[in-house]
């Protein structure tokens, strides 16, 4: 048997971790909401042990918070914290785009265009979870073209920290239209190999999302 064809099934902990990450990223578990371990274990058909282990990993990553007598909750950010995340992302992502310049090609743009079509379907169906995942793939195809693995890892951590809030922006129909228009412009600039234009478009893209989400958080505080 070829070892290349063998794919080890995930452990219960890995499966629970993937599911919890997906629920948090899609907004299925909103910031501040409690995570009842017993209910999660029953829903996923596992014992509490892998649920507890997965939550400890998420706590270390900053996605969930533990408090005595209260248990685990999805981490909440205030407007200032989210603004800080977006500002740091801007610095790192612009740096990644400059390093990606030699690999901003028509081939990469074609992959981005495919994702834009995929996101059109998710947006039309109001599938915010699918839209969020495809959106992340779109952006990280560009960042990964930088061939700077440590840089991409840092960017990914910042995205993870703000994932639960991305659905706030995606939830507005007008925002979804704007997102897709901006994605098409970014893909076109990638096809031209214009790194400076890609960086400028990504900045505007981030700023639009940040302004909306920070305003919502400010109203809620």
pLDDT, tens only, 58-108: 998 888 999 998 999 998 888 888 899 999 999 999 999 999 999 999 999
* pLDDT given for residue 4 in this prediction: 47
The Cα–Cα gap between 181 and 162 comes to 22
Q: What are the CB-based long-range contacts (under 8 Å, 24+) for 113-121?
A: 113/184, 113/187, 115/141, 115/183, 116/180, 116/183, 116/184, 116/187, 119/179, 119/180, 119/183, 120/180
Question: DSSP string covering 103-161, please?
Answer: G--HHHHHHHHHHHHHHHHHHHTT-HHHHHHHHHHHHHHHHHTT--HHHHHHHHHHHHH
* Residue 1 pLDDT greater than 60, yes or no: no
Note the pTM of the prediction, 2 decimals: 0.81
State the sign of the Cα–Cα–Cα–Cα dihedral 122, 9, 25, 112. negative
pLDDT, tens only, 166-216: 777 888 889 999 999 999 999 999 999 999 999 999 999 999 999 988 887
Q: Which helix (H) or strand (E) holds 209?
A: helix 195-220
């Amino acid at each position: 048997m070829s070892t290349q064809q063998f794919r080890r099934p995930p452990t219960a902990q890995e499966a629970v971790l993937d599911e919890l990450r997906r629920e948090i990223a899609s907004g299925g578990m909103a910031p501040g909401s409690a995570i009842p371990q017993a209910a999660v274990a029953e829903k996923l058909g596992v014992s509490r042990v892998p649920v507890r282990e997965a939550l400890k990993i998420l706590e270390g990553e900053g996605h969930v918070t533990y408090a005595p007598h209260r248990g685990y909750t999805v981490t909440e950010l205030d407007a200032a914290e989210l603004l800080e995340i977006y500002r740091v992302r801007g610095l790192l992502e612009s740096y990644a785009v400059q390093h990606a310049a030699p690999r901003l090609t028509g081939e990469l743009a074609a992959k981005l265009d495919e994702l834009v079509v995929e996101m059109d379907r998710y947006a039309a169906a109001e599938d915010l979870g699918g839209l969020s995942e495809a959106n992340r793939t779109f952006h990280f195809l560009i960042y990964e073209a930088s061939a700077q693995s440590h840089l991409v890892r840092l960017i990914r951590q910042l995205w993870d920290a703000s994932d639960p809030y991305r659905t706030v922006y995606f939830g507005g129909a007008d925002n979804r239209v704007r997102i897709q228009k901006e994605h098409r412009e970014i893909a076109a600039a990638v096809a031209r190999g214009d790194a400076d234009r890609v960086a400028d478009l990504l900045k505007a893209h981030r700023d639009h999302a940040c302004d909306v989400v920070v305003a919502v958080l400010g109203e809620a505080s």
